[in-house]
Amino acid sequence: MLEIKNLHVKLEDEDKVILKGVDLTVEAGKVHAIMGPNGSGKSTLSYVLSGRDGYRVTEGSATLDGADLLAMAPEERAAAGLFLAFQYPVEIPGVGNMTFLRTAVNAQRKARGEEEVSAADFLKLVRAQAKMLNIDADMLKRPVNVGFSGGEKKRNEILQMAILAPRMCILDETDSGLDVDAMRLVADGVNALRDGKRGFLVITHYQRLLDHIKPDVVHIMADGRIVRTGGPELALEVERNGYADILAEAI
């Protein structure tokens, strides 16, 4: 479903190469995890896939269900079914969370030639999902992420994901800063979306999230490349021994 081939990326304004040939395929229905040292390029990969400015792809390709992601505007990628849960969710003062959500849902539906959701149906949908994620109604009324705690922001990302129901979900360190209970809620939120048709790319530093979201495949990224790929046991190995052995082996 998501196919990344030999992806090379540098910064637009600087001669700094960040991704140095990433190859990765996520099949429908599968959960892939990416682990790797700080600064290895995990967030960069997620940004490049979702179309953030500031990066230049110098080589390689990325497709979603065969469609060339890199040729699309960020909003087109979203409408095509790509979703990124941000490592650092953005605060938008003055835009209500509900307005934001409804605008996003309707924009995607419009792009796909579907009808807009009615206000009443939308409210019902949001309330139900918010309840599952333990997000109170008050938070929905506030401006997007403004004054939210770190954990609240992450849960808000998952709420958006649940409501937008994307085909391909990328989660960038959604577990960072979450307490144990919140991590469980987030994992439940992700698991609820695992319907055998969606793909997931879960970026994390910790085994703990992977205890709840059982990955099918684990990748290790280092210095802009996937240096090793394995099963869930690879995450356990990282947890036990750190990256040193894996990196030494990769070189």
Partner 1 sequence: MAAPKPRGDLRAEITAARIAALDLPQGGFTAAARKEALARLQAMGLPTRRDEYWKYTDPTALTAPEAAPAAVLADDEPPVFGALDALKIVFVDGLFDAAASDDLSLAGIEISRLAEAGDIHWAKGLYGTLEAKGQVPVARPLAALNSAAASDGVLIRVTGRAPRPVELIYRHESEASDVILHHFVKIDPQAELTLLESGPGAARFNAVMEVDLGAGARFHHIRVQGRDHHRRAVTHLFARIAAGALFKSFTLTMNGALTRNEAVLDIAGDNAVAHVAGAVVGDAKTAPFHQDDTVFVTHDAVGCESRQVFKKVLKNGATGVFQGKILVRPGAQKTDGYQISQSLLLDGDSQFLAKPELEIYADDVKCSHGSTSGAIDETALFYLRSRGVPLAEAQSLLVLSFLADAIAEIEEAAIADAITQRLEGWLARRR
Ligand X SMILES: Nc1ncnc2c1ncn2[C@@H]1O[C@H](COP(=O)(O)OP(=O)(O)OP(=O)(O)O)[C@@H](O)[C@H]1O
CB of 190 to ligand X, least distance (A): 19
CB of 84 to partner 1, least distance (A): 6
Selected binder of ligand X within 6, 27, 39, 114 (CB under 6 A):
39
Beta bridge partners of 135: none
**Residue 202 binds what, of partner 1, ligand X, Mg ion, none (CB under 5 to 8 Å, by partner type)?**
none
Interface with partner 1, residue 11, by CB under 8 A: no
Interface with ligand X, residue 147, by CB under 6 A: no
Q: Which stretch binds ligand X (CB under 6 A): 1-9, 36-44, 104-112, 149-157?
A: 36-44
Q: Restricting to residues 110-129, name those near partner 1 by CB under 8 A.
A: 111
Selected binder of ligand X within 30, 43, 161, 218 (CB under 6 A):
43
HSE-CB of 75 using CA atoms within 13 angstroms: 10
**Residue 100 binds what, of ligand X, Mg ion, partner 1, none (CB under 5 to 8 Å, by partner type)?**
partner 1
- DSSP result, the chain: -EEEEEEEEEESSSS-EEEEEEEEEE-TT-EEEEE--TTSSHHHHHHHHHT-TTEEEEEEEEEETTEEGGGS-HHHHHHTTEEEE-SSPPPEEEEEHHHHHHHHHHHHHHHTTPPPPPHHHHHHHHHHHHHHTT--HHHHHSEETTT--HHHHHHHHHHHHHHH--SEEEEESTTTT--HHHHHHHHHHHHHT--SS-EEEEE-S-HHHHHHS--SEEEEEETTEEEEEE-HHHHHHHHHH-SHHHHHHH-
Angstrom distance (rounded) from CA 102 to CA 159? 12
Angle between helices 180-192 and 150-164 (to 10 degrees): 10
Interface with partner 1, residue 53, by CB under 8 A: yes
**Residue 11 binds what, of ligand X, Mg ion, partner 1, none (CB under 5 to 8 Å, by partner type)?**
ligand X
Q: Which two tokens stand for residue 85?
A: 């849960």
CB of 54 to partner 1, least distance (A): 9
Interface with ligand X, residue 204, by CB under 6 A: no
Q: Which stretch binds partner 1 (CB under 8 A): 96-104, 178-186, 202-210, 219-227?
A: 96-104
Contact residues for Mg ion (CB under 5 A)? Answer: 42-43, 87
Task: Measure the CA dihedral 167/173/174/180, to 10°.
Answer: 140
Of 145 and 204, nearer to Mg ion (C-beta) is: 204
Could you give the string, one character per residue 78-107, with x where binding to ligand X holds by CB under 6 A and - elsewhere?
---------x--------------------
Contacting residues toward ligand X, per CB under 6 A: 11, 18, 36, 38-44, 54, 87
Contacting residues toward partner 1, per CB under 8 A: 50-53, 73-75, 77-79, 83-84, 86, 89-95, 99-100, 103-105, 107-108, 111, 143, 160, 164
